[in-house]
Amino acid sequence: MMNNPHPISDFLVPGKRAHLVGIGGVSMCPLAEVLHGMGLCVQGSDMTESDTVQHLRSLGIPVAIGHNAENLGESDFVVRTAAVHDGNPEIAGAVARGIPVYERAQAWGAIMRHYPNALCVAGTHGKTTTTSMCTHIFMAAEADPTVMIGGTLPLLGSGYRVGKGDTIILESCEYCNSFLSFFPTVAVILNVEADHLDFFKDLQDIQRSFRRFAELVPPAGSVIVNADDESAMTAVAGISHPVITFGLDHPADCTAANLTEADGRPVFDVMIHGEKYAHVELHVYGRHNVLNALAAAAAAHALGLPGSAVEAGLASFTGADRRFQHKGTWHGAEVYDDYAHHPDELHALFTTARGLGYQRLVVAFQPHTYSRTAKLFDRFVEELKLPDAVVLAEIFAAREQNTLGISSADLCRNIPGAVYCSTLDKTAEALRRIARPGDLILTVGAGDIYRAGEKLLAGV
């Protein structure tokens, strides 16, 4: 429908007027700021007022509330988020007037070409944490990076920063092949699992997409891949690009030596090609975070950063927002929140949580999207049998309609002792009934399940 005759790069020049639909979004706000800094006239629209919208206005970027074709004004081109569809009045209005419409990923991809170093972190899970670790490392190196993360990082106070250095760091999502619009000089592949099966046909289709992502790297760049993830290694098998592996269980270029724990947190030496590169003391838990740290360290090494930056950066990293985030204490039980929404993520989270010494693990889980719940149903049931007590909130629809007729109640019937709750208020009430002193309570999911934990803590 868009059929743009010119690449978006033709429009990324000073004086051109860009209209961003959904400008207040987590990756649209930094895009607006970057384009503004490049000398473009930036404007946009969003459905609601927010701190982000106020921030953009403070920079002189006008933002309309609500979507209306009249908001387009004299725009030269339009950029939209994935959540904005062809029927949106501003998109339809742009097409009717012949104004080119581009995807957010296309804009970031074109911007990326202005940076000598483009570090793109991809994978089915672990992207936000690893991108955040990379950000801490590059900030510790005083490299002044531009950053785009899919979650809030306390170091930045947001999910992004606009720097003036020669490096851009982006969390890179495979959904709808978005990351194939990027131009990485370093591509990190953390893992490749069956997910987003509302778009991809099967695991082999996903592997092909990740392979195409790896092949975007220029000959002088690096593809950094998890040697412990068979599917990721399959995705890059035989490519001509330079591949750097990281791992713990299989031979790898970057690995951990002398791995121990201090108060449950991993301590280890990062070894690259058999040489000690950095000594790392993490302040986040779990074996999966050792792998995330190795991926970040391998990327830093590939881009010429000293090991001291890895040491300082990872020492200051305490986790991204909604990644095993401590929310408070309720009657002797500790309440945490996590974004995990894929069975592999649940397994890593529950395994880590079980090793922390709490009397019981109590989980309130909110599945994310009907298609994922249906396609991975048996896997979810398997992992949700690991906690001592499970409360299931209703599925978070996100971008979908429930054409499959599936509910969290279906999961509940297959998990002994599980409790189904149709609302978050009922979820909080169920946690209130179940919780005991000494419990670790986890609210888990990519939707708004965190509100149940907040309601519990607030006593509402």
Cα–Cα nearest to 318, from 181, 155, 459, 190: 155
Write down the mean pLDDT value for the chain: 93
Phi-psi region of 354 (alpha: psi -120 to 50; beta: other; left: phi over 0): alpha
8-106 placed in CATH 3.40.50.720: yes
> Which residues does residue 77 pair with via DSSP β-bridges, in sequence order?
18
Percent of the chain with pLDDT over 90: 77
From CA 425, how far away is CA 422, in angstroms rounded?
A: 9
pLDDT exceeds 90 at position 311: yes
Who has greater pLDDT, 157 or 20?
20
The catalytic position among 81, 124, 128, 135 is 128
pLDDT at 460 over 70: no
Q: What would the pLDDT profile of 93-139 be if each residue is shown by its tens digit?
A: 999 999 999 999 999 999 999 899 999 999 998 999 999 999 999 99
Active site residue 128: yes
Domain ranges of the chain: 8-106, 115-315, 325-458
- 263 confidence band (pLDDT: 50, 70, 90): confident
User: Residue 457 has which token pair?
Assistant: 């803590």
What's the average model confidence in pLDDT over 1-9? 75
The predicted pLDDT at position 178 comes to 86
CA dihedral (141, 144, 145, 149) in degrees, to 10, reads 90
Average pLDDT, integer, range 296-311: 98
Tokens 């979908």 belong to 400
- Tell me what pLDDT residue 176 has: 82
Kindly state the DSSP code that residue 3 receives in the 8-state scheme: -
CATH topology of domain 115-315: UDP-N-acetylmuramoyl-L-alanine:D-glutamate ligase (3.40.1190)
With a cut of 80, say whether residue 348 has pLDDT above it. Answer: yes
Angular region, 185: left φ>0, alpha ψ -120 to 50, beta rest: alpha
Predicted local confidence at residue 1, as pLDDT: 44
Q: Strand, coil or helix: what is 84?
A: coil
Q: Which residue has better confidence, 119 or 83?
A: 119
The DSSP call for residue 394 is P
Domain 325-458 sits in CATH at 3.90.190.20
Catalytic annotation, pick one of 33, 90, 103, 171 = 171
Spatial CA neighbour of 82 closest among 107, 111, 105, 101: 105
> Which residues sit opposite 326 in a β-bridge?
336
**360, 332 Cβ separation under 8 angstroms:** no
**Active site annotation includes 455:** no
Which position has the higher pLDDT, 45 or 29? 45
Q: What is the pLDDT of residue 350?
A: 95
Q: Give residue-wise pLDDT tens across range 196-222.
A: 878 888 999 999 999 999 999 999 999
Catalytic residue of the set 33, 81, 103, 127: 127
Cα separation of 9 and 3, whole Å?
A: 15
Contact by Cβ (8 Å): 295, 246: yes
Tell me, what DSSP letter sits at residue 424?
H
**Residue 403: both structure tokens together:** 């054409």
Q: What is the pLDDT of residues 431-440, one digit of tens each?
A: 999 999 999 9
